Amino acid sequence: MASDFAIAQFRFLERLLVVHGHWCYKRIAQMICYFFYKNIAFGLTIFYFEAFAAFSGQSVYVDWYMLLFNVVLTSLPVISLGVFEQDVDSEVCLQFPALYQQGPKNLFFDWSRIIGWMVNGLYTSLIIFFLNIIIFYDQAFRSGGQTADMTAVGTAMFTCIIWAVNCQIALTMSHFTWIQHLFVWGSVTTWYVFLVFYGELSSALDENAFKILTEVLAPAPIYWITTLLVTIVCNLPYLAHISFQRSFNPMDHHVIQEIKYYKRDIEDRHMWKRERSKARQETKIGFTARVDAKIRLLKGRLQKKYSLMSAPSVISQQT
């Protein structure tokens, strides 16, 4: 996390702080929370399987899947979140410096948020693991009567993980350029493409993963239905939480996003200008601030002196 910045002119400091500082804080907070979430969701499923494998250390996933998880399949969307995410655009940041206060007030990286994301990861891992295990339990999974072996169950479970965490990041992002779309949906597509190509390699024969998608899983409707079910169940609590929070307890950037979305800033320029001026504060530090404070103090004393001086004249008039 870089904290050394060089700017060419002193006037660039405003942009650095109010635009880039604001974005940077939110990007890093969201990226870290999401990273914990996705790795908890993935890692805990491996631990749960140990309870069913006599704690022998057998992983339900083929080694290649686990290697690619953090390298190709889920790393690019997080990078695009951490590099490109904007809650409001740069003009609005400059017009509303009060939005920067979300950083010092630590609204996005406090303990309740971190623990909330971790609980979300725990819930996701439980849903993915147990739904897959129960659905693929011991009966046939295809109309041909075949039962699912460990590689088939592992591949189905891994597909659910990829979909669930990528849909989760799509719900977290609020700024979608072509890059985000490419990375998020491209990661899901890459998973299927990898399965097709890996299934053709002879090294996949050693892992029971030969033609795992083309022959075993893709023709089974239960595979696709399970993926859909697990993805929706994993993301439903988060969707409900953010919709309720946004509707009944909105934060500043939510309200401003809505104003811009419904173009109220263009319809009601007076309101926009008024809110912009309210979003600035007089500075409380520095030489000019001290001078202003001293002037206010002296003015106050002068007011009191005048009121005292005028009071006896009132009394003398009455007597």
Partner 1 sequence: MVTIRADEISNIIRERIEQYNREVKIVNTGDEASQTISKKSKKPQYSRFTQQELPACKPILTPGLVITTLISIGIIFVPIGLGSLSASEHVVEIVDRYDDACIPSNGDDEAAKRERLSFIQNAKTNKTCIRNLVVPKKMKHPIHVYYQLDNFYQNHRRYVKSRSDRQYRSPGSEGDTKTCAPESEVDDHRPIVPCGLIAWSLFNDTYGISTKDNPIPINKKDIAWQSDKNSKFGSNVYPKNFQKQDPVGGGKLNESLPLSEQEDLLVWMRTAALPNFRKLYGRIETDLEADEKITVVIQNNYNTYSFDSKKQLVLSTTTWIGGKNDFLGKAYISVGGTCLFLAIAFILTYVIKPRPLGDPAYLSWNLNSATR
Helix, strand, or coil here: 262? coil
Q: Give the chain's largest Cα–Cα span.
A: 114
**H or E segment at 160?**
helix 150-172
Both structure tokens of 209 = 């993963």
144 vs 312, beta carbon nearer partner 1: 144
Which parts of 111-140 interact with partner 1 (CB under 8 A)? 131, 133-140
57 vs 286, beta carbon nearer partner 1: 57
**H or E segment at 151?**
helix 150-172
Minimum distance, C-beta of residue 300 to partner 1, in the bound complex (Å)? 22
* Phi, psi (rounded to 5 degrees) for 181: -60, -45
Least Cα distance to 74 among 178, 153, 185 occurs for 185
Which parts of 198-257 interact with partner 1 (CB under 8 A)? 202, 205-206, 208, 210-211, 215-216, 220-222, 225-226, 229, 232-233, 236, 239-240, 242-244, 246-248, 250-252, 254-257
Which parts of 74-93 interact with partner 1 (CB under 8 A)? 84, 86, 89-90
Told to check if 295 binds partner 1 by CB under 8 A, we report: no
104 vs 144, beta carbon nearer partner 1: 144
* Phi, psi (rounded to 5 degrees) for 3: -120, 15
Minimum distance, C-beta of residue 311 to partner 1, in the bound complex (Å)? 31
Helix, strand, or coil here: 11? coil
Told to check if 291 binds partner 1 by CB under 8 A, we report: no
Minimum distance, C-beta of residue 26 to partner 1, in the bound complex (Å)? 14
Minimum distance, C-beta of residue 1 to partner 1, in the bound complex (Å)? 19
Q: Contact with partner 1 (CB under 8 A): which of 52, 192, 197, 306?
A: 52
71 vs 134, beta carbon nearer partner 1: 134
- In sequence order, the β-bridge partners of residue 140 are 147
Minimum distance, C-beta of residue 171 to partner 1, in the bound complex (Å)? 9
Minimum distance, C-beta of residue 127 to partner 1, in the bound complex (Å)? 10
Binding mask 141-180 for partner 1 (x = CB under 8 A): xxxxxxxxxxxxxx-------------------xxxxxx-
Q: How many Cβ atoms are within 10 Å of 137's Cβ, its own excluded?
A: 11
Measured between alpha carbons, how far is 253 from 87 in angstroms, rounded to an integer?
7
Told to check if 10 binds partner 1 by CB under 8 A, we report: no
> Is there a contact between 44 and 30 (Cβ–Cβ < 8 Å)?
no
Binding-site residue total for partner 1 (CB under 8 A)? 83
Place of tokens 């001078």: 291
252 vs 292, beta carbon nearer partner 1: 252
Residue 86's region, left for phi above 0, alpha for psi from -120 to 50, else beta, is beta
* Phi, psi (rounded to 5 degrees) for 90: -65, -35
36 vs 218, beta carbon nearer partner 1: 218
Measured between alpha carbons, how far is 120 from 238 in angstroms, rounded to an integer?
8
Measured between alpha carbons, how far is 20 from 239 in angstroms, rounded to an integer?
28
10 vs 248, beta carbon nearer partner 1: 248
Least Cα distance to 102 among 277, 296, 312, 256 occurs for 256
Which parts of 267-286 interact with partner 1 (CB under 8 A)? 271, 275, 278-279
Minimum distance, C-beta of residue 287 to partner 1, in the bound complex (Å)? 27
Q: Which amino acid is located at 262 in the chain?
A: Y
